[in-house]
Amino acid sequence: MLKKYLSLTLAVIVIVILGAIVGLSACATEEEATQFIYAFASDRSGVGDIFALNQNGQIVDLTNTPTADWNPAWSPEGRMIAFTSHRSGNSDVWLLDVHNPDAALSPRNLTNDPAWDYSPTWSPSGQSVAFASERDGDAEIFVQHLEGDTAIQLTFNNEMDRLPAWSPDGKYIAFAAIRNGVEKIYRVRPDGTDEQVITPGPLKGTSPAWSPDSQRLAFIGWNEEDMPGIYVIGPEADNLDMLFQSKTWIGSLSWSADGQWLTFTSWQAGNHEVYALPASGGQPTRVTLNEAWDDFLVINPQATFTPPATQSVVQAAPALKLPNNPNFAAGVNLADLGMTYLANDLGFDWAKGYVNWGTVEPEQGQFQWIDPDNVVKAFGAQQVKVLLRVHGTPTWARPADTALSHPPTDLADFANFMTALVERYQGRVAAYEIWNEPNLDYEWGNQSPDPVAYTEMLKTAYAIVKKIDPAALVISGGLATTCEGSATAYGDLSFLQGMYDAGAKGYFDAFGSHPYAYGRAPDETDPWGLSLARVEDQYKVMQANGDGDTPVWITEAGWVLQNSWDLDEHEAVGVTQEQQAEYLVRAYTKVEKEWPFVKALFLFNLDFSTVPWYPAAEPMRWYAILNPDRTPRPAYTELRQMMRGGGKE
């Protein structure tokens, strides 16, 4: 897959050195394995691998497998690395003896559960590993002995516990926990007792890391202005210092065994690079600079670490991000606004956010703009164009005992809301998508979809948008691909024709479509229309109605991954991670080059796997191109390479 393309991309990768030219090898030789200074994870080989710097200044690929490896963690004696690997088809914790020259060929599978395990951390004795696991239906903290085959669950709740860090004195395991929608640092004893919150007041926190003496705890925190920084708390609970503040994302914090350095990952140079910060504070030193995603730098506890001088870090080639095509919107659907910068990292220039009328105007005339304000602010800060989907009807504006998706009883109420919405974001929102999949019963209030009623809603929105903000585009609500229809769905082609019969022509700037391919390759055409090519049939309906000059916007498209959970109707159409990557790259290439009538493709989705409000078995998590630990899936790596390298022929 993508052999010609990947070879071109890898040819421009510049490998970082520490005072010497770096060489890559498939595995460590016995001499090289005698001492590694640090290890880190990177997709510079085309997929995630664990790399290490040896005493000769060489960076060695320790794992070198066609499947992804991430999250390295050194054992206390510096002999073994625990890491997360997807080589068994899901995500497990594996162990690698780096002093064994043959170890790279045969690492040991520590955890072996159908659910995803990730983010390992060692006990001080080196005999157990704590990790996050989704086997309880959401991320919790577990511990497993190296010689055991059963993991003990330490935390129990309905939200997300992740990123465990075992204190060197063995007394506590710190972790990042989301409680009531807010992420803070907690600690628990290794037997699961005495759980306490550590981070004070309104300060949020993630990625905890203990000092070698266990007296202080560093973490990534962010304040009410959402500015991320590196904080240290301790020895006393009221001792809190901020060592470093960043304007861009930072994470993956780790402490050197001598207490002199804190290492972290940041998106400071247009890439994910690893940095070293003096534990006393000051300015960080960049350790890598590469076109790839470098992350999770951990210093060998038995090694002496000195960060490279600025001049010794080889500069990477300029980013190959292509100029944005003004005639094509490449975008993503995303859930966590903190991930917005990843649209830029991918090379995309659009992102799709959501505004729920039901929560913005819970009482008639009383507006609560915090959610859409945050969306528009986050996207604007990254200079990403905003597609805002409008959906949801307040209880006061729909019949009693009906669902949020029910259309409003009086379109005048919807008109008033759209007026307030467009006036507030005039010049800041580039496009509005009106409703979601209105040809499905459950997206139309659990009643039979009505193309005539939907068209009246669309016409109302269009008139208001064009009056207040003529430059903003109006996209019709993306139709679900539904063949000829069913008891719970209106056939998409018939619904589109019904819209034209009701006078929809001229009341949308682009027709919204959700042509999910149901596991089929992008070039495959399904006779029932269950494929990406359904947009061709939809466009033929548009042409037949004299509307061939209006483009199609694909506002959702993606492939769901195979996994251990029952995903209902999504279960039978799952693909492998490698297929997801291949299909998405081919889809973007095909749509832009072969279908001139399609002017946008928004990936579904970037990061729904990482947010706490979806349980492990939620299908939307498995369409994501990030793993639950926010590491990139192969689809992310290859889409980024496509956008920065120009794609493949």
Q: What is the DSSP string of 278-291?
A: ETT-S--EE----S
pLDDT of residue 570: 82
Domain end (from 287, 312, 337): 312
Range with lowest mean pLDDT among 221-230, 265-274, 282-291:
221-230
Whether 2 is covered by a domain: the verdict is: no
Report CA torsion sign: 509, 511, 516, 522.
Answer: negative
pLDDT of residue 153: 98
Written as six digits, the tokens of 403 are: 């669902």
Whether 321 is covered by a domain: the verdict is: no
CA–CA dist 631, 68 (Å, integer)? 10
CA–CA dist 133, 154 (Å, integer)? 11
Query: Which of 204, 185, 203 has its CA nearest to residue 195?
Result: 185
Written as six digits, the tokens of 150 are: 């059963």
Report CA torsion sign: 351, 629, 5, 589.
Answer: negative
Pair (233, 265) in one structural domain: yes
**Whether residue 333 has a cis bond before it, omega within 30° of 0:** no
Which position has the higher pLDDT, 223 or 331? Answer: 331
- Mean pLDDT (whole number) for 97-119: 85
Q: What is the CATH number of the domain that holds 187?
A: 2.120.10.30
Total of domains in the chain: 2
pLDDT of residue 508: 98
Pair (372, 305) in one structural domain: no
Burial (CB < 10 A; 0-12, 13-18, 19+), residue 613, is exposed
CA–CA dist 101, 28 (Å, integer)? 6
Pair (301, 355) in one structural domain: no
C-alpha angle with apex 211: 63 to 72, nearest 5 degrees? 10
Pair (341, 432) in one structural domain: yes
pLDDT of 294 strictly over 60: yes
Domain end (from 262, 278, 312): 312
pLDDT of 336 strictly over 60: yes
**Phi, psi angles (nearest 5°) of residue 568:** 55, -125
pLDDT of 569 strictly over 90: no
pLDDT, tens only, 514-543: 999 999 999 999 999 999 999 999 999 999
Pair (282, 357) in one structural domain: no
Alpha helices by DSSP H, 431-533: 451-468, 492-501
pLDDT of 324 strictly over 70: no
Whether 628 is covered by a domain: the verdict is: yes
Written in H, E and C, the secondary structure of 157-197 is CCCCEEEEEECCCCCCEEEEEEECCEEEEEEECCCCCCCEE
- Mean pLDDT (whole number) for 274-289: 93
Whether 532 is covered by a domain: the verdict is: yes
- Let me know how many helices (H) and strands (E) the chain has, helices first: 10, 35
Whether 366 is covered by a domain: the verdict is: yes
Range of the domain at 140: 9-312
Alpha-carbon dihedral angle through residues 139, 143, 146, 147, given to the nearest 10 degrees: -110
Q: Angle 534-544/492-501 helices, nearest 10 degrees?
A: 20
Pair (615, 527) in one structural domain: yes
pLDDT of residue 520: 97
Domain end (from 284, 312, 340): 312
pLDDT of residue 299: 97
pLDDT, tens only, 160-182: 999 999 999 999 999 999 988 89
pLDDT of 562 strictly over 90: yes
Whether 324 is covered by a domain: the verdict is: no
Pair (260, 358) in one structural domain: no
User: Given 3-state DSSP classes, what are the helix, strand and coil percentages for the chain, each rounded to the nearest 5?
Assistant: 20, 30, 50
**What percent of the chain clears pLDDT 90, i.e. is strictly above it?**
82
Residue 102 pLDDT grade (very low, low, confident, very high; cuts 50, 70, 90): low
Q: What is the CATH number of the domain that holds 467?
A: 3.20.20.80
Whether 564 is covered by a domain: the verdict is: yes
Q: What are the DSSP calls for 382-428, one per residue?
A: TTPEEEEEEE---GGGS-TT--TTSPPS-HHHHHHHHHHHHHHTTTT
pLDDT, tens only, 60-79: 999 999 999 999 999 999 99
Pair (89, 230) in one structural domain: yes
pTM: 0.91
Pair (492, 575) in one structural domain: yes
**Phi, psi angles (nearest 5°) of residue 121:** -145, 140
Pair (230, 338) in one structural domain: no
pLDDT of residue 311: 54
Q: Average per-residue pLDDT in the chain?
A: 90
- Mean pLDDT (whole number) for 322-346: 88
Cβ of 97: how many Cβ atoms within 10 Å? 17
CA–CA dist 277, 390 (Å, integer)? 44
Residue 104 pLDDT grade (very low, low, confident, very high; cuts 50, 70, 90): low
Whether 549 is covered by a domain: the verdict is: yes
- The amino acid at 111: T
CA–CA dist 568, 622 (Å, integer)? 13
Pair (269, 335) in one structural domain: no
Pair (280, 340) in one structural domain: no
CA–CA dist 476, 461 (Å, integer)? 10
